Structure 1
Amino acid sequence: MSYDDWPNLATMFFEVAARHGGRPFLWSKHNGAYRPQTWADVAEEVRLLSAGLVDLGVKAGDRVVLVSENRPNWVIADLAILAAGGITVPAYTTNTEDLHEHVLRDSGADVAIVSTTVLAKRLLPACDAVGTGTLIAMEEMAGTDKVTVVSWNDAKIRGEAGRNAVETRAQDVTRKDTACFIYTSGTGGLPKGVVLSHHALLSNIKSIEAGFRPLITGVETFLSFLPLSHSYEHTCGLCFPISIGAEIYYAEGADTLIANMPEARPTIMTCVPRLYEVMRQRILAGVNREKGKKKEFFEKAVRLGTKQVNGERLGLIERAQDRVLDKLVRDKVRARFGGRLKALVSGGAPLNPDVGTFFASLGLTLLQGYGQTESAPVVSCNLPDKIKMATVGRPLPGVEVKIAEDGEILVRGGLLMDGYWGNEESSAEALKDGWLHTGDIGVFDEDGFLMITDRKKDLIVNSGGDNIAPQRVEGILNLEAEVGQAMVYGDKRPYLVALVVPDDNYLVEFAKRHNLSPRLAEVADEPALLTEIKAAVDRANQQLSAIEKVKRVMIATEAFTVDNGQMTPTMKVRRHMVKELYGEALEGLYR
């Protein structure tokens, strides 16, 4: 079968699994080393769990909430739900009890699956409050008067009698049937459930395969890090790899991602811009600690590489130097990323072109794309044959994009959602005459490459009526070594001000110089720190237009993180949360 012939994602998986049998598929860490599960192993686990779900009462169209970190069992649970004709409702592991309750109540799920007792501490009370009666747990735990806990193994045992009927049952699921509700990460409020059909996801992975076909030259290897509960990773880091018979490694976490790269040796990796910014800062911090020739060679490699990325010709001597630096510098950088990397893919938020150019100058191909949960999600992407760092590439094959009169990006094709679950008003606003109204502002360049200006709702309109894209300004501020994170502010105001989180490495060095604590909360009010941060902002201002320049600055008392609710799980700033905390102080910068 092909993308057009597969009736659903579960049938696609079973067919690919039958083809690859004993080959490795999913890799995870056990006792300090990566161990594989084969395609055949995973297929059998899916059969058992899927039949177990049916035995527990899951019927076609039933919603099952899934709360787990990235691991092979996440994949098994997702495919088992789909094979039973159910609808997977992934929830972020960072959700509060209230958010879990919202997802459970809004989706109407009667069954939930959880990986650990730690995650169950927030999920179980929510199940109890809503009346979700069955919780399947990968670790041993107790239930409540209202919630029956079934162990992962017991659920599979319950499926032994019905395992042979699973693939036949799966074939009854049609392309138009719903595969999942992906709840938006809530940068602006309570999450909405995006309804994605099997057809939408199959259409999108077909488009991705058509675009990336030149890169697929054998058995590809993916390193999965972003939450599988996010549409970007679910489609690009799971559904697409399954469709091409790839292997998937699961990173242990954010702190070990760089260490996991040489272990997994990925050929394709998807990440969000924030992670690339952090990697760039770490590489530069390491280089700045070096002395003599090592630092000189690195800076020369970046300089010559940048010239080539920008289309400039190297002179005869520069070409000879570049060949030597490719061995001395770039080969070492490539080795840190595993040595086999064909492409780093960036999505989920705008990537500063300077960050992309930095990696490209060091011999790594970084492809920026664009999409939304509502489009399953990939709309466009740069491809290796022609990369424009300031753009998100051309629309993928099979995807139509046009720009409305007010500059909004509109998308049409088989990849679109069916709507927001139980929210007809929002669905009607987003889907009009077959076009998805993205809420993003953009333009096409002369080569048909899409350029994103900003989110329509995030645009700052100053008191002079000028439209300012905050993400562009923040991206330039974040390139300064002293700046870890930044959020600009200034709607209906005469100029911009900024809230800045200092870079961790810089803050440690600053604290040593001034004999102060390196804890941000204890030094945020230090005049010397504000002076140095302001100097960094002033340097960034040289790259900004008059209306984009940041006139005043304040320092945050803590970093923007997922744990404190100031970032989404895909590392985008939750502006409404940050404004709640710092709004009064930011307003004070205008007095």
Structure 2
Amino acid sequence: MLVAEVEHIPAGRLACLIYTSGTGGPPKGVMLPHRAMLAKRQGIAGFIRRLGLPRDACYLSFLPLSHAYEHTVSYLLCSFAMEIVFSRGAERLAAELTDIRPQVVTAVPRLFEVLRARILALVEKQKPWQRRLFERALRLGLRRLDGPPLGALERLEDAVLERLVRRRIQARFGGRLAALVSGGARLDPELSGFFMAMGLPVLQGYGQTEAGPVISVNVPWENNRHAVGRPLPGVTLRIAEDGEVVIRGPLVMDGYWNNPEATAQALRTEGGEVWLHTGDVGEMVGPALRITDRKRDFIKTLGGDMVSPARIESLLMAEPAITQAVVAGEGRPGIAALLVPAEGTAEAALAEAVRRVNGKLSGVERIRHFATVAPFTVENGQLTPTMKIKRRVVLKDHAAKLDQLYG
């Protein structure tokens, strides 16, 4: 009876009204029809089958179900007869990973930053010879990812370090992970490389609520930490002349609830086809997509230079002394940074971290001024429930401090 009833539901009927996270302005209600949900399941079916998960496969869910990413992944994995275990909260995740031992976990970049910081803090407490083993395992792991190939003696050394170091790290994640999928925001390649070098299957994906939300994802057998994977089957993707990623396919929303102006801006008909303009800037790396920035987030300095804040912020947050960062400079004479230092970090260590980052940047990108601020949290409205920083809110809340920096 239920199957027969489902077959009579029109594919274009509204299935879900879900709101965007609000990182780019007020949240908008995204209208997703049944066809978008069905297209999403069809798009990931091959990926799930090829993972070869056991019958008792478990998915650990800890992101808010109100977020399109977690909402969609949870019900899709249910449809593949996977057990869903709901976390009691991010603060208990470390213990739950070892207790539940999941095969699949979805995460956001902020979680990877927190987990890396915890691992490095534990390593710092180890004896000097143990720290050297960890550092060597990390270096050889990165070599396996990026080359050049390991020599015969290095392969033997790497196998020993797999048993002595990496398996202990993997055990902290349950020891059975088949896919640790990151989404919701850009995952810095250095951050993903840290975990991949330890033998953890970190897979970066890309999407947005307006596309139901997954557009592309890396897979274990074709994993590029510098990209976000191939578009899912059924997704047609192209890069516009200005670099914006635009897509079409059955996964695309019908529009924004009671917001025709925003709908017209996002959905545009070209050649008789409706294309979703994502607002993200990207490029193709072979068959895979690489996201380079948010189109609307580019900073134009007083001198007319266009600067990507995402690149600078990623480099800053890769520094152990910095846990969160937002850079500013729109209409200003140079770039400034608002930094949340790691606990116990001295001013001199913070300045040294900024100096190291500046050494990796071009002249127009370099940080001229910086100031420390209180952590960005969900409670103060500067972080979304999925731990994405609301750049515009942070800049507005700290406008007076930025004025002081620029004098």
The alpha carbon displacement at 1:319 in A equals 0.9
Deviations 1:161-206 (A, max 9, x none): xxxx877655543322111111111113321100011110110121
Matched, 1:572 2:388: yes
CA–CA separation in structure 2 for the residues paired with 1:482 and 1:316: 37
**CA–CA separation in structure 1 for the residues paired with 2:227 and 2:3:** 43
CA distance in 2, matches of 1:208, 1:273: 21
Task: Tell me the alpha carbon deviations over residues 284-324 of structure 1, each in whole angstroms, 9 at most, x when there is no partner.
Answer: 11101111322111111101101111132112221111111
How big is the shift at 1:240? 1.6
CA 1:213–1:168: 2 relative to 1, 3 Å: closer
How far apart, in 1, do the equivalents of 2:42 and 2:67 lie?
19
Aligned to 2:70: 233
The equivalent of 2:44 in structure 1 is: 208
Aligned to 2:364: 547
CA distance in 1, matches of 2:348, 2:165: 35
Distance 2:19 2:128 in 1: 51
Tell me whether 1:429 sits opposite 2:261 in the alignment. Answer: no
Following TM superposition, by how much is the alpha carbon of 1:212 offset from its aligned partner in structure 2, in angstroms? Answer: 4.1
Residues in 2 aligned to 1:248 and 1:233: alpha-carbon distance in whole angstroms: 12
Taking the TM superposition and a 5 Å limit, the aligned residue runs for 1:314-353 are: 314-353=150-189
Counterpart position of 1:288: 124
CA distance in 1, matches of 2:349, 2:139: 27
Q: 8 Å contact 2:53–2:103 — kept in the other structure? A: no
Q: In the alignment, what sits opposite 1:413? A: 249
Alignment correspondent of 1:256: 92
CA distance in 2, matches of 1:365, 1:546: 36
What amino acid is the match of 1:234? H
Q: Which residue of 2 aligns with 1:93?
A: none
Counterpart of 1:227 in structure 2: which amino acid? P
Deviation at 1:580, TM superposition (A): 1.8
> 1:311-390 residue pairs with structure 2 within 5 A?
311-390=147-226
* Contact 1:209/1:240, CA 8 A, preserved across alignment: no
Out of 376-385 and 172-181, give the one that drifted further.
172-181
Q: 1:274 aligns with which of 110, 130, 152?
A: 110
Looking at structure 1, the residues matched to 377 and 319 of structure 2 have their Cα atoms a distance apart, in angstroms, of 20
CA contact (8 A) 2:376 2:382 kept: yes
Identify which of 265, 272, 292 aligns with 1:453.
292
Q: List alignment gaps of at least 5 residues for structure 1.
A: 1-164, 511-528
- SS in structure 1 at match of 2:54: coil
The residue aligned with 2:313 is 474
In the aligned structure 1, how far is the partner of 2:303 from the partner of 2:248? 35
Q: Which moved more, 1:353-362 or 1:533-542?
A: 533-542
2:284 to 444, 456, 460: 444
1:442 CA drift (Å): 0.8
* Partner Cα separation in structure 1 for residue 275 and residue 47 of structure 2: 22
Match of 2:400 in 1: 584
**In structure 1, what is the Cα distance between the partners aligned to 2:42 and 2:364?**
43
Q: Distance in 2 between matches of 1:315 and 1:375?
A: 45
Question: Does the aligned pair in 2 maintain the 1:211–1:397 contact within 8 Å?
Answer: no
How far is 1:439 from its partner? 0.6
Kindly state the Cα deviation for residue 536 of structure 1 after the two structures are TM-superposed: 1.1
Distance in 2 (CA, whole Å) between partners of 1:167 and 1:563 is 43
- Contact in 2 for aligned 1:304/1:322 (Cα 8 Å): yes
Cα 1:542–1:173, aligned 2, differ >3 Å: closer, same or farther? same
CA contact (8 A) 1:330 1:363 kept: yes
CA contact (8 A) 2:104 2:178 kept: yes
SS in structure 2 opposite 1:339? coil
Amino acid at match of 1:229: S
Counterpart residue identity of residue 585, structure 1: K
Partner letter of residue 454 of structure 1? D
Is 312-321 or 205-214 further displaced after alignment? 205-214
Summarize the Cα distance change of 1:502–1:495 in structure 2 as closer, same or farther, 3 Å threshold: same
**8 Å contact kept, 1:221–1:266:** yes
Runs of 4+ in structure 1 deviating by more than 4 angstroms, as ranges, are 165-172
The CA distance in 1 between the partners of 2:3 and 2:144, in whole Å, is 52
Tell me which amino acid in the other structure corresponds to 1:292: P
Aligned to 2:354: 537
**2:134 — aligned with what?**
298
> CA 1:176–1:299 in 2, change beyond 3 Å: closer, same or farther?
same
Contact persistence 2:243–2:281 (CA under 8 A): yes
Structure 2: which 5+ residue stretches go unaligned?
none
Q: Is the 8 A contact 1:212 1:383 kept in 2?
A: no
Letter in 1 for 2:15: A
Compute the displacement of 1:470 (Å). 0.9
Q: For residues 146 and 315 of structure 2, what CA distance do their matches in structure 1 show?
A: 18
Q: What's the TM-score, normalizing by structure 2?
A: 0.95
* 1:464 equivalent among 285, 295, 303: 303
Pairing of 1:57-96 with structure 2 (within 5 A):
none
* Count of aligned residue pairs for this structure pair: 402
Which deviates more, 371-380 or 187-196? 187-196
Structure 1's 270 and 342: CA in aligned 2 closer, same or farther, altered over 3 A?
same
Q: Distance in 2 between matches of 1:467 and 1:381?
A: 29
The one of the two structures with greater contact order (alpha-carbon pairs below 8 A, sep at least 6) is 2
Q: Partner of 1:589: helix, strand, or coil?
A: helix
**Relative to structure 1, is the Cα distance of residues 334 and 579 closer, same or farther in structure 2, using a 3 angstrom cutoff?**
same
